[in-house]
Amino acid sequence: MRPSTREGDQSLITGKTRVCGIIGDPIGHTLSPAMHNAAFLKMGLDYVYLPFKVAEKDLPAAIEGLMALNIAGINVTIPHKVAVIPLLDEIDELAGYIGAVNTIVNQNGILKGYNTDASGFYHVFTANKIAVSRKKIVILGAGGAARAIAFILADKGAEITILNRSLDAAQAISERIFKTLRTEIKIGELNLQNLKFSLEEADIVVNATSLGMSPQLKETPVPARLLNERMTVVDIIYNPIQTRLLKEAEKQGAKVFNGLEMLVRQGAAAFELWTGLKASIETMRKAAGDRLSENEK
């Protein structure tokens, strides 16, 4: 069933309405249309934000279509964040270092790629006054989100270990970071032995795998016994809002943060790139939270 919170808003669309959206596959779970449309409405902007399900094979056609249809801006999600790069006209410096794009801006016919995941993620640390310099941080996962997270944390002086199911993806991130920042990071396979060893001394653990994401609610990347009260645990998953990992970490006394604020902040940064205006964070946060609750019903 269609959520009812914005019933009737389509009547506001005019011939001049600018179109933004998100491309990904799957896309049905996305909270971004709710967040952005609420912010456009709140700020009285003549914009609309739509979901586009784009299969991997159709990515080049979809990017050409953005130009043809004069789409103002697009978010990029799984599985296109890396593959989209060679299809764009320009890449922002940070996105180029990270090697992943989650936001595209149509600048008068030039498609430029940005990465707002990194700043969205890092906001959690600045807002909560958590220092990362020289902290031992274990990142679980080496996908598109982990690339941005590892880069920003390495740039801020953290001592990073990446554990991932496939070692080659972790290796690729480590090589990229060494090339750009001259910082060495440790890598390993995501298995019990490596988890035991690296979590013993970890200050911060970040889950950037999709383990624990709905509908796989029973999964977790870390056995509960390896979590402790000295740790800060960040799970970038926002659906569900509290993953099994976060529940178990909280039970062990760890400080925990979910992925909703990262989602809101990366969205707000994209909104600002498209409109040139500061986004209403409160509006975006509420819309994302409301849609999440509706989806959970």
Count the alpha carbons within 13 Å of 179 in the hemisphere toward its beta carbon.
Answer: 10
Q: Rule CB under 6 A: say whether 142 interacts with ligand NAP.
A: yes
Should residue 240 be labelled a site residue for ligand NAP when binding is judged by CB under 6 A?
Answer: no
Catalytic residue among 81, 112, 135, 136: 81
Shortest Å distance, C-beta 272 to ligand NAP: 16
Q: How many CB atoms lie within 10 A of CB 80?
A: 25
Check residue 34 for interaction with ligand NAP (CB under 6 A): no
Which residues 191-210 are close enough to bind ligand NAP by CB under 6 A? 208-210
Instruction: Give the nearest residue (CB) to ligand NAP.
Output: 143
The least distance separating ligand NAP from the CB of residue 281, rounded to whole angstroms, comes to 14
Q: How far is the CB of 225 from ligand NAP (least distance, A)?
A: 19
236 lines the binding site for ligand NAP (CB under 6 A): yes
Q: Using CB under 6 A, which residues numbered 116 to 135 contact ligand NAP?
A: 117, 120
Q: Is 162 in the site for ligand NAP (CB under 6 A)?
A: no
- Tokens representing residue 152 in the block: 């920003």
Contact, 3 vs 29, CB < 8 A?
A: no
Whether the CB-CB separation of 76 and 266 falls below 8 Å is answered with no
Residues 66, 74: contact at Cβ < 8 Å? yes
Question: What type of residue is 267?
Answer: G
SS3 20: strand
Catalytic residue flag (residue 81):
yes
104 closest CA partner among 148, 74, 146: 74
Residue among 97, 114, 238, 274 that touches ligand NAP (CB under 6 A): 238
Q: What does the alpha-carbon distance between residue 287 and residue 280 come to, in Å, rounded to a whole number?
A: 11
Site for ligand NAP contains 143 (CB under 6 A): yes
The reply on whether position 235 binds ligand NAP by CB under 6 A is no
d(CA 151, CA 147): 6
- Applying CB under 6 A, which residues contact ligand NAP? 78, 117, 120, 141-146, 164-166, 169, 190, 208-211, 213, 236-238, 259, 262-263, 266
